Each structure stands twice: as C-alpha cells, then as structure tokens.
Structure 1
Amino acid sequence: MNRLVLGLAATLAASSAVAQTTVQSCDREVTFEAPPKAAVSNDVNLTEMMLALGLRDRMAGYTGISGWKTLDEEMRAGVAELPELSEKYPSKEVLIGADADFYFAGWNYGMKVGGEVTPETLAPFGIKVYELTESCIHIGDKPKASMQDMYNDLLNLGRIFGVEDTAYDLVAAYKLELDRITSSIGAGGKPRRVFVYDSGEDKPFTAGRYAMPTALIEAAGGVNVLDDFDKSWARVDWETVVDKNPEVVVIVNYGSVTAEQKRGFMKNNPALAGIDAVKNDRFVTLDYVEATPGPRNIRAVKKLAEAFRGD
C-alpha cells in the first residue's frame, strides 16, 4: 500500500512538472509544455527580474547590457556566472548558438518591429518569447503605464518557470513596501509637475504616458507633464517642455553622457532658464535600471517621493 501511495505521489509530481502553462504576452497567448531550461534575457532590468525570481540556473546567458550601460556591483554579482552573449541586441544566430529555448525581451528592449528577432522568427527554432508588458504599446493598444505592468511580468515569469509562489511573495512584498511609501506622502496639495530627461540636446528623449516613469512619478505623488504624450519613449521639442514648465526634472542616468552633464546642459541653456525646475535647481536622478520596469522600481518611487517633498 505504501508503495502504491508513493508511486501515485511520484506520478502526480511528474505530471505537475510538465503541466502546460499559458500566459498572455502582449497580443499573443504563449503555451509552455515545461519550464524553460536555457533562457536568455535582454537588457539590465529584464535580467534583474529573472535574478530576483532565482532563475539564474535556468539561464543560458543575457544580452544587451554592456553595449549601452555599466553594471553596478549588485548586478555584477548577480550575473557573475552567466555569459553576455551579445553587447547589444542579439542576432537570431546568437540565440540559436546558445541553444536558447526562451527569450525574455520587449519591443525596443531586444526586439524591433519588423526586425530579425521576433517571436515569429524564433518560433521555428523552438525559442519561445515572452514580451515585456510596458513595451506592448509598440504593437497594439494598452492602458497607460502602471506599476501593474511590472507586477504582471514577474507573475507571468513565475508561471512560466514554475516558481509561482516566489513570484507571488515578491510582488506582495513590493506592494506592501509601495503602500508604506505612498502612505507617507500625505494628502492635499497639487502633485509636482515632472519632466523626464533621458538624453538628447537638440530634442530631448523623454517618457510619455506609456513609459514606466509615468507610473513611478504618479506613485510618488507627482504627474508627468507629458502624460498626454501618446508615446512610450520618444522625442519632443524643448518648446513643449518650456510650455509645460515642470517643477522637477528626473534625469535617467546611463550611457556616456553623465547625469551631471545632462543637468549642466539644462542649467546652462538660456532657452530653459525660465523653467521652474531649472530656476529652483530641482533635479533628481534615476539609474536606467530604476526607471525601466523591474525590481528597483519601488526604490525609485521612494527616491522620487523624497525629492518631491524636498528631502
């Protein structure tokens, strides 16, 4: 009798391990017969999501980091045992050569619409793709950016890799911490008017209503002055920024131009001298990995909330 019970338990465990899982990825439903064993993630924030869920041993490597960004000590430790397969966006051959069975990327986060690497071009090689929720706006409609975008990705990755409990606990902890931060903001008063300065001098590259900083700014008690800009990340002209007159500028720190250089450009540009944020020297810096969807978003909200209060 004991052997029968043990045998049944083993059969159920094996069945559970190979149970199908279907998740929504942008406008597609993707079904996994079993958890991936050789995953590749693109970009620093997506890679950090994988690491936060304890999936390093399921990864064949990562791509798209060192070509644009520098890893901090925390991330260097996380990926120490993993190869960077491509400094920028990977080619199809790179993913096939790594024997990848899963690619975690997004539109403009490792894939381009109509490009060489897409869910459709990778499917014949047995490489399934899960798309970053924030990026879905590039191929269809989606709601304005929210913290739920990041939570959704973690929960879906949990389902895909069979670590649902870990994902649920992680998201629950993030929500609890976010509630603690937002409860300290206090009610009353107008939200701070905020402009996100990513890069560019002739025309600034910034975050519109579908980019993650819009959600971070709102959670911290502010409003993105370009939340009516029907884009994710895109360029505007400086005249628009002047007209919006932000009280605070959020600088996204990455690449060869430092946050201090970006701040200096705005401070020393006569055309921008009348902006409240420039006049009052109200700048706050977010690292790229804080400003894009990922585990450091909660830290970013805390940093923004403190800056909006003037701490």
Structure 2
Amino acid sequence: MKNSLWVIVLGAILSIQNAFSYPITIQSCGKSVTITHRPTHAIIHDVNMAEMAFALHLQPFMAGVTGISGWNKRTPAFQKELGSLPEIATHYPTLEQLLNAGTDFFFAGWNYGMHVGGDVTPETLAAQGIPTLVLSESCMRVGQASAIPSLELLYKDEESLGQAFDRSVEAQHLISGWKSRVQVVQRRLAGHHPVRVFLYDSGRDRPFTAGKYALATELIRLSGGQNIFDDLQTNWGSSSWESAAVRDPEAILIVDYGNGIADSLKFLQNNPLLMENAALKANRVLAVRYDEMTPSPANIDAIEKMSVFLHAETAP
C-alpha cells in the first residue's frame, strides 16, 4: 500500500515538473524559436496581440506594451486589463527601448511592430537573447508561402503563446470555446447567400482595405459575407474607388480606431463614385473595431456581430 501511494505521489511530482519544464521550442513563421524560461518581462505589441495575452492572464509576466495609443484610442475594457503596465512606445519600439525595459520575450508581427530591415526583428532580438513570437498572419510579409487565412492562425498563435508561458491548458480551453461559438454561427447561416461587403479601413485618395490574405476576409466569410476585394493579392493594402464602386457592395464595414466612424462615413457618403451606392443610401453600415478585424480574441465577437448585421433574419 505504501509503495503504491509513493508511486502515485512520485507520478504527481514528475507531472508538475514536466508541466514547468524549460527550455521549450515553438514554431514561428516556419522557424524554431527556443524559450529557455517562462518570460517575466514580456513586451506585447498592438491591441490585438495584447488582448491575446490578456486572455491568458499574462499581465504578471509582462513588462509593458507597445504600439497602442499611436493608432488606437484605449477602450475602458482594454485599460482595465492593462492596469498599471506601461506603454514603452506609442508606435513601433526601438531596440534600445526594448532593451531598457528588460524584455525577455517579444510578441509582434511584420508591419505589426517590426519592419523588414529595421532595427527590431527576430534576428536582432535573438542576438540579444530575446525570443520573438511573430504574428502568423504577417508571415507573408517576409516571403513565407501564402495560404488563404483561417482562424487556425489565431488558434495557433494563442496556442504558442500558451506554450511560451506554461499556459497550454488555458489556451486549449480558450480555443475550444472559440471554435464552439463559431460553429453555432455557421449552423445558423447554413444555406444563406453571402452578402457583398466592402471593408473600409482608411485612405482618401485610395481605399485601404483587407485583401485576399487578411484574416478579416475570412471573418467576413464566416459571418455570411464576401469581401469585394478578396482578390487583392495582399493581406492589407490599397485599391481604387473605381473598383469599390464597380463591385457594388451590399453592406459596408468601417474600422473604428476608437473615435467613432462619423468622419469616415461622411467621406464615403460624399465620395462621387459611391454616393449612389445602395448600402450607403440605406445606411447598411457597421462599425468594427481594429482588434475585431486583426487576429485577436475579439474575432469571435466580430463574427457573431457581423453575422447578425448581414443576416438579421437569422438573429438568435
């Protein structure tokens, strides 16, 4: 009996040790990244990636964030999650800023905190002993073979984040819940014809929008729509107002960076090429937040919200 009890206790101890075993290796943009210890001074870039960290309650292991207030107005909910964590750079951080913060882990992406050839890249950080998790949606920016994005990009990044901080169980629980919610929407939309959707982010001379390789295009599809620029050969980029008009969207999404969409809507309504558009005339317009359209936990909320907007007849 004593021997059996000792075996059980020893097994429990080994399980705990294994659960906290470092180093670990994760895959990021097709490359192996080794993490020698659970980070204690992580820096997370941008609202969407910060929310991925907050979903795993990683604030105690963070030294701060970057790239928030330079583009987005903080919502009360985001500020509550952020707490007293500082923003060490309003836009893209410099290598010096990251080193001064004692960074031991950086979560960012290409054109989401890092530029090709810039002083902050996975390579320059690795030279300082800092591992980098790169946002999967952005990997095409460095020549990685492109594939039509799916929510697996979000799930993979959340899973990798969980592995890096010994939060794998929590990450899997989150992902399972997200998948269930998306499945509910898909069952509700079964058999409904997709609605043509124009996603307007910004731009006056030319519309800046989501293209073929943006996760936003897949979010629109999962919501019962079709991005009118789903043939634009990029993730985010510019098109033309002539193309937007010719493709005749039946509904319009406008990205809200925290100051509302009144100015953007007024601009579209007074655009000579779009002012006769039926969606604008009928005010079939929906505000979507930046974090809802870029990889983040808010993607699931966005799918639920947009599906009701595009197919009100299916509303639960």
Alpha-carbon shift at residue 12 of structure 1 (Å): 6.1
Structure 2 runs not aligned, ≥5 long: none
Shift of 1:34: 2.4
The Cα of 1:16 is off from its aligned counterpart by 4.4
Structure 2 CA distance, aligned partners of 1:28 and 1:255?
A: 35
For residues 7 and 107 of structure 1, the distance between their equivalents in structure 2, rounded to whole angstroms, comes to 45
Structure 1 position 222 matched with structure 2 position 264: no
| Secondary structure of 1:284 counterpart | strand
Indicate the residue corresponding to 1:273 in structure 2: 275
Where does 1:247-258 land on structure 2 (aligned, <5 Å)?
Answer: 247-254=250-257, 258=260
Out of 291, 297, 300, the residue aligned to residue 299 of structure 2 is 297
Aligned-residue offset at 1:9: 5.7
Counterpart mapping for 1:6-85 below 5 A = 10=13, 13-14=16-17, 16-85=19-88
SS in 1 for 2:189: coil
Cα distance change of structure 1 residues 295 and 238 upon mapping to structure 2, 3 Å threshold: same
Structure 2 CA distance for partners of 1:151 and 1:7, relative to 1, 3 Å: closer
Secondary structure of 1:68's counterpart equals coil
The residue number in structure 1 matching 2:261 is: 259
* Cα separation, 1, equivalents of 2:15 and 2:167: 17
2:102 to 94, 99, 103: 99
Secondary structure in 2 matching 1:172: helix
**Residue equivalent to 2:180:** 176
Deviating above 4 A after TM superposition, structure 1's stretches of 4 or more consecutive aligned residues are 1-12
> Which has the higher mean CA deviation after the structures are superposed, 63-72 or 271-280?
271-280
Preserved CA contact (<8 Å) 2:255 2:288: yes
Aligned partner of residue 125 in structure 1, secondary structure: coil
Normalised by the length of structure 1, the TM-score is 0.93
Q: Is residue 2:207 matched to residue 1:194?
A: no
* Residue aligned with 1:184, SS: helix
> How many residues in Structure 1 have an aligned counterpart in Structure 2?
309
Cα distance in 1 for partners of 2:18, 2:187 equals: 44
Which structure 2 residues correspond to residues 97-176 of structure 1 after superposition, within 5 A? 97-139=100-142, 140-176=144-180
Displacement of 1:21: 2.0
For 1:166 and 1:50, locate their aligned partners in 2 and report how far apart those are by CA, in whole Å: 11
Alpha-carbon distance in structure 1 between the residues aligned to 2:14 and 2:280: 66
Counting aligned pairs with the same residue, the percent is 39
- What code does the residue aligned with 1:269 have? N
What amino acid maps onto 1:166 in structure 2?
E
Q: 1:83 offset after TM fit, Å?
A: 1.0
1:138-185 deviation digits (Å, cap 9, x = unpaired): 112221121111111101111111111100000000111111122222
CA contact (8 A) 1:146 1:214 kept: no
Distance 1:259 1:34 in 2: 43
Question: What are the ranges of 5 or more consecutive residues in structure 1 without an aligned counterpart?
Answer: none
Report how far residue 100 of structure 1 moved: 0.7
Q: Deviations over 1:64-93 (max 9, x none)?
A: 101111111111110112111111111000
TM-superposition CA deviations, 1:162-217 (whole Å, max 9, x none): 111100000000111111122222314x3101111000111111000111210110
Cα pair distance change 1:176/1:11, threshold 3 Å: closer
TM-score (norm 2): 0.92
Which deviates more from structure 2 when the two are superposed, residues 33-42 or residues 92-101? 33-42
Local SS of the residue matching 1:88: coil
Is the CA contact 1:208–1:233 (under 8 Å) kept in the aligned structure 2?
yes
**How far is 1:8 from its partner?**
7.9
The 10-residue stretch of structure 1 (27-36 or 300-309) with the greater mean CA deviation from structure 2 = 27-36
My pick for the range that moved more, 208-217 or 12-21, is 12-21
Structure 2 distance, partners of 1:302, 1:86, is 33
Does the 8 Å contact 1:242/1:274 carry over to 2? no
The Cα of 1:4 is off from its aligned counterpart by: 7.7
Paired with 1:308 and 1:7, the residues of 2 have a C-alpha distance of 56
Amino acid at match of 1:227: D
- What residue identity is the alignment partner of 2:149? A
Kindly indicate whether the alpha-carbon contact (under 8 Å) linking 1:17 and 1:34 is maintained by their aligned counterparts in 2.
no
SS in 2 for 1:18: coil
The amino acid of 2:94's aligned partner reads: S
* Distance of 2:128 and 2:153 partners within structure 1: 28
Mapped to 1, the partners of 2:91 and 2:248 lie a distance apart of 35
